[in-house]
Structure 1
Amino acid sequence: MGNTVTRDDFEWVYTEQPHCSRRKQILAKHPEIKSLMGPDPQLKWVVTAMVLTQVLCCFLVRDLSWKWLIFWAYMFGGCINHSLTLAIHDISHNVAFGNKDAMCNRLFGIFANLPIGVPYSISFKKYHVDHHRYLGGHGLDVDVPTHLEARLFSSPARKILWLFLQPLFYALRPLVVNPKPVGRLELLNLMVQLAFNTFVVYFWGIKPLVYLIAGSLLCMGLHPISGHFIAEHYMYLSGIETYSYYGPLNYITFNVGYHMEHHDFPSIPGSRLPQVKQMAPEFYDDLPQHDSWTRVLWDFVFCDSLGPYSRIKRTFPLAKQD
């Protein structure tokens, strides 16, 4: 394989995003899937246990050497924090308390955010709505890399760096692609996070806070779990923009691997997405899918035809144009 990616632009299409029409087709044949919609009563308890586990870890790591602190941040704490980001993803769809209690979901997302160290839950919700409604939308879907990213990170070494810096790009890209005003809940998210971080440093010192934030950054960057960022929508086959993964890492990522199912039915909690596939196997079994997130990352880095440009894009009338 060579050292440069052959693509020099995104794959532009002039069709609507496919999941709305798929949803109608599936529900017409399998209306029983509607029974899976609604809140997951277990989610709040699972997330609470994860947050408390990280608070306990803050106490346990307070006297570790820096070497072991970073080791455990990458191997353990960061995995929990990455899983919490996916819990926040679920919560953003109001599946913790239901659509009627939207504010409870927002506040619970702020609580789930605490061990991550950086406030982002409310902002994520604001932009994730656009990702589902305008999948691949130019100027709307901030999940798609910018042209600058795609041009700069085109060789294997640069793609590795891009993967390592993914948290930074996910934080900054919305400010460039689709900036939105800061709301009151985002300010609340910030104040609560700062209060928690201050609490951790006051009682246990700076090392536990480094453990939390370093774990978040490391495990959202170059880490096997982070393969889902690439696996979900990067175009490994021409014209296919959403892929599922049915492997064991789903057990610690709230079934985010069931991504075709999730985009077809975003109101169904991650815990029930495997049942969607079971109820409508003819719609999912023969679709292209990934069998390893680690393999996804390897191929992304070393395959010439893959890179940040490997995304489908489409235009929507309300989006600003370059």
Structure 2
Amino acid sequence: MGRKSARNDFEWVYTDQPHTSRRKEIIAKYPQIKALMGADPQLKWIVSAMVLTQLLACYLVRTLSWKWVIFWAYAFGGCINHSLTLAIHDISHNVAFGNKHARWNRWFAMFANLPIGMPYSASFKKYHIDHHRYLGGHGLDVDIATDLEGWFFCSPLRKLLWLFLQPLFYALRPLYVNPKPVTRLEMLNAVVQFAADLLIYYLCGLKAVVYLVAGSILCMGLHPISGHFIAEHYMFLKGHETYSYYGVLNLLTFNVGYHMEHHDFPSIPGSKLPEVKKIAAEFYDHLPQHTSWVHVLWDFVFDDSIGPYARVKRHCRLVAQD
């Protein structure tokens, strides 16, 4: 458990990300894919049902012992909350109400945020656009670990700890790598979120709030669903910086496993990404893919060639903001 990773730096490249060129090729050959872009009319109902389920769970856990509160937070509530973060990921691309109603998408993302217990949706939107625009961009893509993370979390035991602490790094890393001014939308997100937390505390007690917050932290850390964080962009094969996963856990995660397809067509809802894969199969079938997020986590911890440094990085030229 004490051996160190063989990598001591990121995989620096001097090429553009592959998604832009592949998107052009696919649309040129299959222009019907454009019809898949736009709003997913079912998304708002699915997310609403998930939020209401968590509010009901808050009422049910208020009388449980603490050990059962934590158990159900990890085994049930956290899974829903992690799924809601991925719903927010989809909503950040305006697929709940369409591009013409961008503000409705922002407000609905705050609603989806409520069971997570901490304000998240507005900040995520602010940084996620950079992840797509500048994939692997040095100082721009905050999805990539810092040099300190890559240097320190280099042994199996330390990498296991890093996985457990992922929520902390995802929350703090943007403040160091690419700090941006706090927006009014973020302030509103915080006010709405903390008001909801206080209301839940008043109605259901402390255990309900702990159930929500602990579930979010635990299931975004060392948890099978969290395997997607590693599976999406960590370089398991040299030269490949994005990977898809087509397994059953996509049912819980709004098809975030179709990550190659998502980066090629970020304006297509997760529910329709399998259609992209089906239509343009020859563009994806030959690419490396993951078959298990649990296996991804295992390999990340115990494979010496993989760690926080196993990411493709590039220097990107800034483009005009929308």
TM-score interval, smaller chain: over 0.9
Report the identity percentage.
75
Unaligned ranges ≥5, structure 2: none
CA contact 1:70–1:214 (8 Å) conserved in 2: yes
> In the alignment, does 2:224 pair up with 1:231?
no
Partner of 1:28: 28
CA contact 1:95–1:268 (8 Å) conserved in 2: yes
Partner of 1:156: 156
Partner of 2:201: 201
Aligned equivalents of 2:246, 2:42: Cα separation in 1: 22
Partner of 1:112: 112
Partner of 1:192: 192
Moved over 2 A (4+): none
- Counterpart residue type for residue 192 of structure 1: V
Secondary structure of 2:76's counterpart equals: helix
Q: CA deviation at 1:318?
A: 3.9
Q: TM-score, normalised by structure 1?
A: 0.98
Partner of 1:52: 52
Q: Within 5 Å, which residues of 2 pair with 1:58-137?
A: 58-137=58-137
Q: CA deviation at 1:317?
A: 3.4
Partner of 1:269: 269
Aligned equivalents of 2:36, 2:132: Cα separation in 1: 19
- Counterpart residue type for residue 307 of structure 1: G
Secondary structure of 1:39's counterpart equals: coil
Partner of 1:168: 168
CA contact 2:2–2:156 (8 Å) conserved in 1: no
After superposition, the C-alpha distances for 1:232-270 in whole angstroms (9 at most, x for unaligned) are 000000010000000000001000000000000000000
Q: Within 5 Å, which residues of 2 pair with 1:213-228?
A: 213-228=213-228
Aligned equivalents of 1:49, 1:212: Cα separation in 2: 16
CA contact 2:2–2:157 (8 Å) conserved in 1: no
After superposition, the C-alpha distances for 1:17-75 in whole angstroms (9 at most, x for unaligned) are 11010100011111111110000000000000000000000000001101000000000
Partner of 2:306: 306
CA contact 1:39–1:95 (8 Å) conserved in 2: yes
Aligned equivalents of 2:2, 2:215: Cα separation in 1: 33
Aligned equivalents of 1:80, 1:243: Cα separation in 2: 24
Aligned equivalents of 2:240, 2:181: Cα separation in 1: 33
Q: CA deviation at 1:2?
A: 7.3
After superposition, the C-alpha distances for 1:255-287 in whole angstroms (9 at most, x for unaligned) are 000000000000000000000000010001111
Unaligned ranges ≥5, structure 1: none
CA contact 1:2–1:304 (8 Å) conserved in 2: no
- Counterpart residue type for residue 138 of structure 1: H
After superposition, the C-alpha distances for 1:162-221 in whole angstroms (9 at most, x for unaligned) are 000000000000000000000101000000001100001101110000000000000000
- Paired residues in the alignment total 319
Secondary structure of 2:286's counterpart equals: coil
Q: TM-score, normalised by structure 2?
A: 0.98
Q: CA deviation at 1:127?
A: 0.2
Cα RMSD, aligned residues only: 1.0
CA contact 1:11–1:311 (8 Å) conserved in 2: yes
Aligned equivalents of 2:292, 2:229: Cα separation in 1: 13
Partner of 1:250: 250
> In the alignment, does 2:317 pair up with 1:317?
yes
Aligned equivalents of 2:121, 2:94: Cα separation in 1: 13
- Counterpart residue type for residue 113 of structure 1: N
After superposition, the C-alpha distances for 1:64-111 in whole angstroms (9 at most, x for unaligned) are 101000000000000000000000000000000000100000000000
Aligned equivalents of 1:130, 1:111: Cα separation in 2: 23
Aligned equivalents of 1:17, 1:233: Cα separation in 2: 12
- Counterpart residue type for residue 44 of structure 1: K
